[in-house]
Amino acid sequence: MAKHSKCCICESYLSKNEIGLNKKLIGKSNDKYFCLNCLAVHLDTTVDDLQEKIEDFKSEGCTLFG
């Protein structure tokens, strides 16, 4: 059974894109991940801005995103 990652704040299950964004913005060696809502608060930005970054990374061909 695959291990499902959860947000380190609210414990919601994370998507591949949320995990990928954490790795890109916080670092690959980090073992604590945030959902988009908690990451937006942590980085003092908006969920819309984070979703835009995901699309930017996808269009660049980054393999961390689905």
What pLDDT does 31 receive?
A: 82
Checking if the pLDDT of 17 tops 80, the result is yes
What pLDDT does 16 receive?
A: 94
Checking if the pLDDT of 59 tops 50, the result is yes
Distance CA 26, CA 30 (A): 7
What pLDDT does 3 receive?
A: 60
The percentage of the chain sitting over the pLDDT mark of 70, rounded to a whole number, equals 94
Quick one: pLDDT band at residue 26, thresholds 50, 70, 90? very high
Q: Between residues 4 and 60, which one has the greater pLDDT?
A: 60
In the chain, what are the domain boundaries?
1-66
Distance CA 26, CA 7 (A): 14
